[in-house]
Amino acid sequence: MSTLWTITKIVGKAFGIISLPIAFCECVGHPASVVGASMEPTLRGNDARWWLNDIVWLSKIHSFPKNGEIYTYTSPRDPKVHHVKRVTATPGEIIDVKNRPPMPLGPLEYWMSSDNVTVGQDSRNYGPVNMGLFQGKAMFILWPPSRFGSLY
Amino acid sequence: MAQNGSWYKYIRNKVIFRFAYLYSGCVVINKYVGNVIFLTGDSMQPTIYDGDIVFTRSYNPRKHEINKNDIVCVKSPTDAGILLCKRVALVEHEYDNISFNNIRPSARIAAGHCFLLGDNLEASSDSRAFGPIPMGLIYSRVLFRVWPPNRIGFIEKY
């Protein structure tokens, strides 16, 4: 029946068109706003006025995480929240922080640290973060315009 | 439709767009609905056999709950790009009474973590080897089996 085929084509096209931006966010990247002060002064997210908090571009296309790069990841303590921290140790490196015996990191474990150590939780609280939890790599600050630019 | 050389471009653009729509549609279905996964290995016998194909439901921590004894597909904590399919034996805050060896002292499962166990204990590499895993590694929950045809149906729960 040709009306059925027409309806299928319209529904298919609508679904495809709506899926395009969602797939782009999943596969290429998307902007995200920073919450919290744990990455000060690199990222500012502690103002109640939302237009003063940083917006960063999170890229889903990136090579293996390296020291100094900033990543978003699902928190190991609560899968509903995402944290954004900097990689300070990669698999195979030996961790030497207090309250922990020095041990090399496992094959997919990364040590994430806040830039602002007085605030927030990071690997000192919940240990190394598995690469499977990583969501995206923070590449640029998109907003505010005065701080626009690459993070590296 | 335009003529000659432009006809070729028109068809090419149509193909590219339709491929983009199809790919995006699949990404959205994988993210919000579920996946069809081909399972290998013997670690979940007798519940799941090597070669079974199952339909799974995508896991969104903000919307779904993982209950004890659910079968889940998780991203492997030791090998990038590999999915494991195991049962959730212990959820967060439960006492770990499974790791008998002294490598992991008997303690509560940490907040946001779960303990995976294969149904076939002899042939399963699970949380007895790599420890409890954060729930953020869970990719989807196994719902029912679609292949082989004589065993189609919901996967048995304990």
Angle among Cα A134, A21, B76 to the nearest 5 degrees reads 25
Write down the pLDDT at residue B3. Answer: 59
State how far the Cα of B92 lies from the Cα of B108, in Å rounded to an integer: 7
Q: How far is B138 from chain A (nearest CA, A)?
A: 9
Q: What is the mean pLDDT of residues A88-111?
A: 91
Write down the pLDDT at residue A9. Answer: 87
- Asked if residue A30 lies in contact with residue A56, where contact means CB atoms within 8 angstroms, the answer is no
Q: What is the mean pLDDT of residues A31-37?
A: 93
Does B43 qualify as catalytic in the annotation? yes
* pLDDT value at A61 more than 60: yes
In percent, how much of chain B has pLDDT > 90?
71
Q: Backbone phi, then psi, for B128, in 5-degree steps?
A: -70, -25
ipTM of the complex: 0.89
User: pLDDT for A16-29, tens place per residue?
Assistant: 899 999 999 999 99
When scoring B135, B138, B139 by the number of chain A Cβ atoms within 10 A, the one with the most, hence best to mutate, is B135
Q: What is the mean pLDDT of residues A118-134?
A: 94
* pLDDT value at B4 more than 70: no
- According to DSSP, the β-strands at A129-130 and A109-113 are antiparallel
State how far the Cα of B27 lies from the Cα of B38, in Å rounded to an integer: 18
A106 vs B133: CB contact, 8 Å cut-off?
Answer: no
- Chain centroid to Cα A99, Å, comes to 27
Write down the pLDDT at residue B1. Answer: 52
Q: How far is A148 from chain B (nearest CA, A)?
A: 30
Q: Concatenate the DSSP letters of all residues of A8-38 into one string.
A: HHHHHHHHHHHHHHHHHHHHTEEEEE--BST
List strand residue ranges (DSSP E) for chain B, in order: 34-38, 53-58, 71-75, 83-90, 113-117, 133-134, 138-147, 153-154
User: pLDDT for B20-42, tens place per residue?
Assistant: 999 999 999 999 999 999 999 99
Chain A residues in contact with B73 (beta carbon < 8 A): none
Catalytic residues of A, by residue number, are 38, 85
* Residue A72: strand pairing partners: A84, A136
State how far the Cα of A121 lies from the Cα of A124, in Å rounded to an integer: 7
Q: Backbone phi, then psi, for B2, in 5-degree steps?
A: -85, 180
State how far the Cα of B14 lies from the Cα of B4, in Å rounded to an integer: 16
A74 vs B134: CB contact, 8 Å cut-off?
Answer: yes
